[in-house]
Chain A
């Protein structure tokens, strides 16, 4: 019984980690040039919490997938986008 309980705890913990991977979408002004926007990709990829980043010029969005169990707060995302040369108009989060 004890073994089953430990195993169940481990499985729940593992699923909980996967579930904690977040997808964050930032709406950005000034996003017109892919050559300049590569700075966004380079800046975010230096963050240990970031798994993948997608830049969408058509919809003026930057989508950030975090690693399981990690997150980036809105203040950090806004600062990183400003450091890349852009203005943030909104941030939304989804699992």
Chain B
């Protein structure tokens, strides 16, 4: 965590802004919408910003500082990414999606800079009371790193939040990332959102705090 003091110092300020501003956990929001996501968890720190071009495509920027890599080989990746809504099922009482997110840029680590590329498939299904998602992501960064990672989430909402209410979700996230020191990690978390601001906080089985936020504007 202390490797990015400037970033960490900025988090409270951004959170304050986030909590005061009218902010999607999905890779595509609405046409002309901008989405900023920031994640801090046992895998490292991520920031991404995406602009939705049309109902199926968004473009943006992805930066991730990977931590807790096996052998201390932490690294970062940065580059533009392209998000695609492969399919959406709008159901009377639910919504299901399959997304792809792919990007290419540079990786920095071990004193080297190399080209990098990544791609992921994310599937989710949610109702007003139940949430589930699964993501598989591949990262190739030449001699710096090459890995495949999986993440699954399930969640329940204790009440059906209305459009103008604060929504609360209790979730469990399971990560399987063979390139990390701790391969299998479970993170119970709570998610709150109100209008365009989403905040998540949790604590992982390998004793790391999770603090994520999304803004949509």
Contact = CB atoms under 8 A, between A and B. Distances in A.
Interface of A: 28-30, 32-40, 42-43, 46, 54-58, 60, 82-87
Contacts of B160: 57-58
SS class, residues of chain A in contact with chain B: mixed
Interface residues of B, number: 39
Contacts of A30: 88-91, 94-95
Given A32-B95, A34-B165, A39 B55 contact: no
A24 to B, nearest CB: 17
Nearest to A30: B90
Given A32-B126, A32-B128, A35-B193, A56 B93 contact: no
Given A30-B95, A58-B162, A84 B31 contact: yes
Given A30-B95, A85-B88, A36 B33 contact: no
Contact of A35 (B24, B28, B162): B24
B216 interface: yes
Contacts of B164: 34
B74 to A, nearest CB: 32
A91 to B, nearest CB: 16
Nearest to B95: A30
Given A30-B94, A34-B195, A55 B163 contact: yes
Given A42-B33, A83-B30, A34 B163 contact: yes
Interface in B175-217: 193-196, 198, 214, 216-217
Given A42-B33, A82-B55, A34 B167 contact: yes
A29 B29 contact: no
Contacts of B91: 29-30
14 contacts: A30-B94, A32-B94, A34-B167, A35-B193, A35-B196, A35-B198, A37-B163, A38-B195, A39-B29, A43-B30, A58-B160, A83-B54, A84-B30, A85-B28
B127 interface: yes
Nearest to B166: A34
A28 B94 CA distance: 11
5 residue pairs, one from A and one from B, having the closest CB atoms: A39-B30, A30-B90, A87-B90, A83-B31, A29-B90
B162 A38 contact: no
B15 interface: no
A60 B127 CA distance: 12
B95 to A, nearest CB: 4
A40 B30 contact: yes
B195 A39 contact: no
